[in-house]
Amino acid sequence: MYYIVCKNINVESKTTLLTEEKLLVTGGRKLEGKVEISGAKNAAVAIIAAALLVEGQVTIENIPNITDAQVMLNALENLGVEVVRLDNKTYRIDATKINNHKTPYGELSKIRSSYYFVGALLGRCNNAEVTFPGGCNFGQRPIDQHIKGFEALGATVEISGGYIKAKAKKLIGSKVYFDVPTVGATINTILAATLAEGVTILENSNREPHIVDMANFLNMMGADIKGAGTNVIRITGVHKLEGGKTYTVSPDMIEAGTFMIAAAATKGNVTVANIIPEHMESLSAKLIETGATIEVGDDYITVKGTKKSVPVNIKTLPYPGFPTDLHPQMVSYLLDIDGQSNLTEGVFDTRRFNYVEQLQRMQGDIRIEGSTAIINGGKKLNGAPVRASDLRAAAALVIAGLVADGVTCIYNLEYLDRGYENFVEKIQALGANVKRVKES
Ligand code: EPU
């Protein structure tokens, strides 16, 4: 985040300084204690867009206090939707009246989930003009499968002037086979199909928990969506969704995973609470393989790290495979384990490895071969000034800083703020020596 600070302002002299925030991480401390996990970013942003389909008031609890969710809420207001903040994490949204089918450009162009307004506005008004999405830059992120879904339902889609423009006289249920099991296209096609006429069947759908979360929200409001969480989803269109209900966003499995990895990496002992442990199975399995101890409760997992960790091989895959969004954090941990680990990226292209250069500045011994990072672990990392290249890269640099010698100074904190609620406060409470400061 950048602040323009003006000092000594008077008529004769104006000094303008650019101030950037940075995180100072001093390595060497074990993380210990309990951390409460917030609502899931990727579920919250989808559910906020889904609220556009509801003609009535809905209350959504456990929305994480992060930039991406805030940008989505602001965009709803711009469409004429009434958004009332009831507390830090609870919003009452009333989309009975909307006065626009075009989103404002600005902030929405920086985040990925802006594309959910295409499905939602198309479903609600048969007409959508939505800012072309931005988001983390780790490779090609095409939207051809979203377009395939909309077109199958009878819409025409055009991309021009930085906008996705989609229109239909009427949306009619259809069968869609996704060429790749994509999160975004699965959610977007559900949004468009919920109020369409007839039945839509989505095959080779993504199975992520946040798809289930959004489907549960819509079903609570009167939609008929079956099979979310499997790779075949059946949506029977309904005439209208009515509000009057309260929905709670489920916990963030990536935030939970980030703290679990940080606990193992620092050889600490951390209880990650308020989670759905089943969502964490692929990560728990890999942490156990490294030698960490995992204790699973009803809604928590306790991770105990060990000095005798062993290297592992991992491939990221769509859920229930190992999440790509835990890839950079895991590499930071593997750098601290004696021996060679390999991590193959199976979801995004090689730009997902953008963070590697920063870990190399900390003397991380990593080389990339094709889509695999070869990690020669066990050599002590050294603190250095580094820049986050995306949201999960930011978290990975914090973990690297926690196990490094000396101080790691992390810039580009706007990435961290996009997706982790109170990250600094939470990790400080576990004993990490982390400070957020402003640099002129
Ligand atoms: N893909 C296509 N065509 C499409 C859509 C996707 O080829 O039309 C490909 C992508 O290029 C990629 C793969 O499918 O190789 C997976 O992309 P997906 O659509 O599943 O990802 P996304 O919707 O762009 C969401 C999350 C990301 C997360 C990925 C993978 C949201 C808002 N974003 O992105 O979250 O990395 O799924 O799980 O839900 C994050 O939280 O840090 C983050 C980046």
pLDDT in tens, 237-252: 999 999 999 999 999 9
Integer Cα distance of 217 and 221 in angstroms: 7
pTM for the full model? Answer: 0.95
Asked if the model's pLDDT at residue 3 lies above 60, the reply is no
**Using one digit for the tens of pLDDT, what is the confidence trace for 386-401?**
999 999 999 999 999 9
**Using one digit for the tens of pLDDT, what is the confidence trace for 320-345?**
999 999 999 999 999 999 999 999 99
Q: Which two tokens stand for residue 189?
A: 């096609």
Total domains, the chain: 2
CATH number for the domain that contains residue 188: 3.65.10.10
3-state secondary structure (DSSP) of residue 429: helix
Q: CB of 45 closer than 6 A to ligand 1?
A: yes
Vertex 301 angle, CA 299 and 302, to 5°:
140
Positive or negative CA dihedral for 82, 107, 23, 309? Answer: positive
Kindly give the number of the ligand 1 atom that is closest to the alpha carbon of 111.
32
One domain, residues 24 and 51: no
One domain, residues 392 and 418: yes
pLDDT value at residue 2? 38
**Using one digit for the tens of pLDDT, what is the confidence trace for 299-320?**
999 999 999 999 999 999 999 9
C-alpha dist (Å) from residue 247 to 74, 217, 274: 20, 6, 16
Q: CB of 387 closer than 6 A to ligand 1?
A: no
* 174 touches 148 (CB < 8 A): no
Q: CB of 213 closer than 6 A to ligand 1?
A: no
136 included as an active-site residue? yes
One domain, residues 32 and 56: no
Kindly give the number of the ligand 1 atom that is closest to the alpha carbon of 208.
38
Asked if the model's pLDDT at residue 4 lies above 90, the reply is no
Task: Work out the average pLDDT over 359-369.
Answer: 98
One domain, residues 296 and 282: yes
**Band of the pLDDT at 162, cuts 50, 70, 90?**
confident
Integer Cα distance of 172 and 153 in angstroms: 5
Q: CB of 136 closer than 6 A to ligand 1?
A: yes
Quote the domain boundaries for residue 99: 41-248
Q: CB of 113 closer than 6 A to ligand 1?
A: yes
Task: Work out the average pLDDT over 156-166.
Answer: 93
Asked if the model's pLDDT at residue 128 lies above 90, the reply is yes
Last residue of a domain, one of 193, 226, 248: 248
Question: Nearest C-alpha to atom 19 of ligand 1 is from which residue?
Answer: 182
Asked if the model's pLDDT at residue 8 lies above 50, the reply is no
Last residue of a domain, one of 248, 265, 294: 248
One domain, residues 319 and 217: no
Asked if the model's pLDDT at residue 24 lies above 90, the reply is yes
Q: CB of 419 closer than 6 A to ligand 1?
A: yes
Kindly give the number of the ligand 1 atom that is closest to the alpha carbon of 113.
32
pLDDT value at residue 10? 40
Integer Cα distance of 218 and 161 in angstroms: 32
One domain, residues 304 and 384: yes
Pocket test for ligand 1, best of 180, 326, 345, 353 (most atoms within 8 A of CB): 180
pLDDT value at residue 107? 87
Kindly give the number of the ligand 1 atom that is closest to the alpha carbon of 144.
8
One domain, residues 98 and 121: yes
One domain, residues 279 and 412: yes
| Token pair 């769509």 in the structure block, residue | 318
Quote the ligand 1 centre to 160 CA distance (angstroms): 22
**Using one digit for the tens of pLDDT, what is the confidence trace for 165-192?**
999 999 999 999 999 999 999 999 999 9
Amino acid identity of 74?
Answer: N
Question: Nearest C-alpha to atom 33 of ligand 1 is from which residue?
Answer: 42
One domain, residues 359 and 433: yes
Last residue of a domain, one of 233, 248, 263: 248
**Using one digit for the tens of pLDDT, what is the confidence trace for 258-313?**
999 999 999 999 999 999 999 999 999 999 999 999 999 999 999 999 999 999 99
Pocket test for ligand 1, best of 48, 112, 327 (most atoms within 8 A of CB): 112
Q: CB of 180 closer than 6 A to ligand 1?
A: yes
Q: CB of 324 closer than 6 A to ligand 1?
A: yes
Residue % of the chain over a pLDDT of 70? 95
One domain, residues 278 and 243: no
Asked if the model's pLDDT at residue 431 lies above 90, the reply is yes
One domain, residues 190 and 328: no
Kindly give the number of the ligand 1 atom that is closest to the alpha carbon of 390.
42
One domain, residues 241 and 256: no
3-state secondary structure (DSSP) of residue 92: strand
